[in-house]
Amino acid sequence: MDHTSEPWECIVVGAGPAGLSAALYLARFRRRVLVLHDGMSRAMRIPLTRNAPGFPEGIAGPDLIGRMLEHCERYGAQIREAEVVEARRHEGTFELRTADGTLHHGRALVLATGLHMGQIPLPHDEHEAAIAAGVLRYCPICDGIEHTGTRIAVLGSDRHGAAEALFLRQFSEQVVLLPCQYAGLDADAHAQLTAAGIRVLAAPVVRYAPQADRFDLYLEGRDEPHAFDVVYPALGSQHRNELAQMLGIAIDAHGCTDVASPLGTEVPGVYCAGDIVDGLDQISVAMGHGAVAATRAHNWLRAEDGHVLPAR
């Protein structure tokens, strides 16, 4: 049980831009709010984001999250690091169990649990160093412009990879699409890529060799690497939807919750925010979702307590 016998008015799962925005709003609505997170916000991996509104010089992900934590705590939100392994409804509240067996009870819930990206097979430290060096990128919308006119490789020869390559073509004439393990491109996609001047290589990558200022890719059957200024894997993602599923919230074919789930879900009192929601996986969107989810949760609690005008 929590240290108090009273349930939290709202528990937020996730301490990324979505969860921390929700917690800030709830705390400023004077709600007792607990944030539980397992330290895996994707934002913590951003070396410098240059498209977060209000930061013209850019801001590092850990700095942004650090400021958001401070902002929430200033208004009384409690933040605890723990993995939530189980969620269920129990005697009129939501019961969350963390990996150490602790139970937390909340009257309302905001799920801002994000996603895991499909990554290229590199040891963790080498992978993160390549991200920090800017030779490995995962988000063309975030940083495509920073590679204007450079040699860009997109990894993943399926329709998702093709779409990403076509998106990046806006920024460079030197975009190449390569398969990681298999080539699954249909004739239509192939024709469109060719028309856009995007080269499609058929041999799969057998070795990934990030350097300080470029990324070398070794293809099957060739000793010499192909050198690129930046590599964008387009390998999909796995949404962290386990808790949503445990509570009976619908998940779509891509693993996301519904686009309207920041407004409310089929489970009264549960709201979703950020990358878990179908849509654009961006900091600004996650923050907006967090604000909406928190305000909806607050108003739902007010209605439950009879603090709103009756409907006419």
Ligand X SMILES: Cc1cc2nc3c(=O)[nH]c(=O)nc-3n(C[C@H](O)[C@H](O)[C@H](O)COP(=O)(O)OP(=O)(O)OC[C@H]3O[C@@H](n4cnc5c(N)ncnc54)[C@H](O)[C@@H]3O)c2cc1C
- Separation between Cα atoms, residue 200 and residue 194, nearest integer Å: 8
The answer to whether the CB of 241 falls within 8 A of the CB of 276 is yes
CB 43 → ligand X: shortest distance, Å? 4
CB 124 → ligand X: shortest distance, Å? 13
Q: Residue 217, SS3?
A: strand
Which residue do the tokens 């998106």 mark?
167
Nearer to ligand X, 55 or 75 (CB): 55
Site residues for ligand X per CB under 6 A? 13-19, 36-43, 45-46, 49, 51-52, 83-84, 112-114, 131, 138-139, 142-143, 240, 243, 274-275, 281-284, 286
Nearer to ligand X, 40 or 303 (CB): 40
Residue whose C-alpha is closest to residue 50's, from 61, 40, 41, 66: 61
The backbone torsions φ and ψ at residue 116, rounded to the nearest 5 degrees and listed phi first, read -105, 130
Residue whose C-alpha is closest to residue 11's, from 100, 82, 115: 82
Strands 115-117, 152-157: pairing is unpaired
Nearer to ligand X, 62 or 225 (CB): 62
CB 129 → ligand X: shortest distance, Å? 12
CB 242 → ligand X: shortest distance, Å? 7
The answer to whether the CB of 243 falls within 8 A of the CB of 87 is yes
Q: Within 13 Å, how many C-alpha atoms sit on residue 209's CB side? A: 11
CB 143 → ligand X: shortest distance, Å? 6
CB 308 → ligand X: shortest distance, Å? 29
The answer to whether the CB of 97 falls within 8 A of the CB of 103 is yes
CB 275 → ligand X: shortest distance, Å? 4
The backbone torsions φ and ψ at residue 49, rounded to the nearest 5 degrees and listed phi first, read -95, 135
Nearer to ligand X, 18 or 177 (CB): 18
Strand partners, 97: 86, 103
Nearer to ligand X, 7 or 17 (CB): 17
Nearer to ligand X, 97 or 190 (CB): 97
- Separation between Cα atoms, residue 43 and residue 290, nearest integer Å: 15
Nearer to ligand X, 200 or 286 (CB): 286
- Separation between Cα atoms, residue 244 and residue 262, nearest integer Å: 13
Q: Which amino acid is at 234?
A: A
